[in-house]
Chain A
Amino acid sequence: MTTLQLENLRKQFAPDVIPVKDISLSVEDGEFLTLLGPSGCGKSTLLRLIAGLEQPTAGAVKIGGNVLNDIAPGDRNMAMVFQSYALYPHMNVSENISTSLRLKNVPQEEIKRRIANVSEKLGLGHLLNRKPSALSGGQRQRVALARALVRDPEVFLLDEPLSNLDALLREQVRQELKELFKSQNKPVVYVTHDQTEAMTLSSKVAVLLDGIIQQLDPPRRIYTHPANKFVAGFVGSPQMNLLTLNCNQNKAILGDYGFPLPQKGQSAKMIDMGLRPEDIHIATPEDELTVEGHVFLEENFGREVLLSVKVKGSDQTLRALIPPDDEWDNENIKLGWSHRQMHWFDAQSGERIEAADSPVLAS
């Protein structure tokens, strides 16, 4: 039983470069934690701190309660897959895979057995004698994975391992990864800026911005209950509609329409409303909330059409994902949604405001 724990981890490169500010979290055996965030938010730095490639300015990395800060990366028994794969170009595939075992003086037969084992699992059997330069991108990625798996480490660290693959291959490898790591039953920390990967692979997602965890929750909850405006806008594609609205007695005003505020007695002048495009549909008579407007942009994704709608009486835009067989009038479209699907955020702090009547789901 291993638990990877980070306690108040901080990394400061220069007075104004602090990619990791104060991060605490823990990952258990079999848990798949994804660090999700935009480019430059400190994901790789955090991973390198865990691996020991960078020394934290403050805080601690622990495995099973033991502080690892002073232990060299090679002795931490963690395997890391790099974004660039970082295969040794002058060694062939089997040497690349077995380097760490050879350095740990694992007996020769054992090494052979493990290479055979892992290369069979990843379909690398016929490539063992090739140099990395003679491999395709996908094959290199597998070798990099094999190099991590063969060590049977206590913790797996992966830094955007799929970002160099093309879209189709990425989808396929994603599924394989999921099964692969399920069978390993070890803590996995996975870095990505691709929300699809984060949503499909992980058991927990940590959304990072500016070196701070914005939200740490299972993927489903990140989607349904974004903790703040940033998470709401970052997770979900197409992006959530985020509108800053004026408030007027218990109502948020959008053009000619008013929506009941999430909490009674709200005193703020402004509030941010969030509404996912996929939650909006062509209004039916039963809809509690509707707006009218005109379509000024239509983007066809095949399965759905993304309509950009100017709401009547306002210059704000709502984007709605509509099935293409639905019928609508571009000049005067009526959109509807339900209360439950609205998200509210404090206009100043960006924090989520829970609607008073909606039960707070325990995750």
Chain B
Amino acid sequence: MAVAQQPQEQQTQSKIPTKRIILWLGVISLLVFCLAPALWQLLTSFKTNDAIATIPTIYFPNLSELTFNHYITLGWNFLRYVFNSALVSVISTVICLGVGAPAAYTLARLNIPGKQIILSCVLVVSLFPYVLLFLGLLELVKYFGLGNNYISLIIPYTAINLPLTILVLRSFFLQLPKDLEDSAKIDGYRTVPMLLQIVLPLTLPALVTTGMLAFIFAWNEFIFALTFITKDEMLTIPVKVAQIGGASVYEIPYGPIAAATVLGTIPLILLVLFFQRRIVQGITAGAVKG
């Protein structure tokens, strides 16, 4: 054995450096490619106005070119918009999962007539570009007098996210072993406790993933938020950021905009980092087979 392994080891040893280098080159270029715009915003948000305006661009500012002022000008008021965004996003995500998960389970497990038709409808709706709904929705919002009401955002966000949620969760339920549910029934679980105590814990990773997608969409959505809400204290972050203006039409306050963008993104990042741990890969491992 030992003799046979030696040449192999040598081979792998000589291969590792080139492989490693290529790997890390790839990782770094991918990171730069993806993160450059975000890092640029982060940098801008800490640079003084003079430093921002300087050409050639300052990539590595010294201490005198750094400032917290942009954040300070935003003030505590900005938290109000964070709150608005959070409220709308959380509620629409929760409703989306609360409605989508049972629907997906039903479509995965029960034999209901017209199931295929329902599924293809869901698929078609999810393919529909949501901006096209905009005018119709605007009429509806006007008709029901929902303007300047969080509901006017919560309902469309929920509706737009639902089809994808249903499709993703359904395919998740489909691959969940049915034996588990049968076994639970034999153990004496009633339907609802079975769903809550056996199916739900196993579904958490999928719920977190789809929930996160729904949340991010709601958090970043702009057009609806811009049109359906006009009261300043109810604006969501993307709209507020776009409205940050300078003293004159010709002055674009890059610093505060960057600071607002960063502040608006931090909750998302925290959320993703927090839930990333919950997405335990292969939580069903060990349920079936050997």
Contacts and interface: CB of A to CB of B under 8 A. Distances in A.
Chain B facing A: main interface SS: loop
A79 B183 CA distance: 9
B186 A88 contact: no
Interface string A107-141: 00000000000000000000000011111111011
B289 A84 contact: yes
Contacts of B287: 84-89, 132
Interface in A79-109: 79-80, 82-90, 99-100, 103-104
Interface in A44-78: 48, 51-53, 72-75, 78
A306 to B, nearest CB: 31
B189 A89 contact: no
Given A53-B186, A74-B188, A104-B188, A89 B179 contact: no
A165 interface: yes
Max count, chain A CB within 10 A of own CB: residue among B183, B184, B201, B282: B183
A291 B289 CA distance: 49
A164 B289 CA distance: 6
B290 A86 contact: no
Contacts of B177: 84, 86
Max count, chain B CB within 10 A of own CB: residue among A82, A90, A104, A133: A90
Given A90-B202, A140-B290, A74 B185 contact: yes
A147 B179 CA distance: 14
A293 to B, nearest CB: 45
B120 to A, nearest CB: 22
User: Interface size bucket, B side?
Assistant: 20 to 34
Nearest to A51: B186
Contacts of A164: 289-290
Given A74-B187, A79-B186, A90-B202, A133 B179 contact: no
Contacts of B180: 86, 88
A15 B190 CA distance: 31
Interface string B257-290: 0000000000000000000000000111111111
A147 B198 CA distance: 16
B65 interface: no
B182 interface: yes
A53 B184 CA distance: 11
B286 A89 contact: yes
A261 to B, nearest CB: 50
Contacts of A80: 182-183, 186
B66 to A, nearest CB: 48
A30 B284 CA distance: 36
A99 B187 contact: yes
Interface string A157-186: 000000011000000000000000000000
Given A84-B289, A135-B286, A89 B202 contact: yes
Interface string A177-214: 00000000000000000000000000000000000000
B290 A138 contact: yes
Interface in A263-288: none
Max count, chain B CB within 10 A of own CB: residue among A52, A84, A136: A84
A103 B189 contact: yes
A141 B183 CA distance: 14
A75 B286 contact: no
Contacts of A78: 186
A89 B186 contact: no
Max count, chain B CB within 10 A of own CB: residue among A52, A89, A136: A89
Interface in A20-58: 48, 51-53
A89 B283 CA distance: 7
Interface of B: 177, 179-180, 182-190, 198, 201-202, 282-290
The 9 closest A-B pairs by CB, nearest first: A137-B290, A133-B286, A74-B188, A132-B286, A84-B288, A86-B179, A86-B183, A100-B187, A103-B188
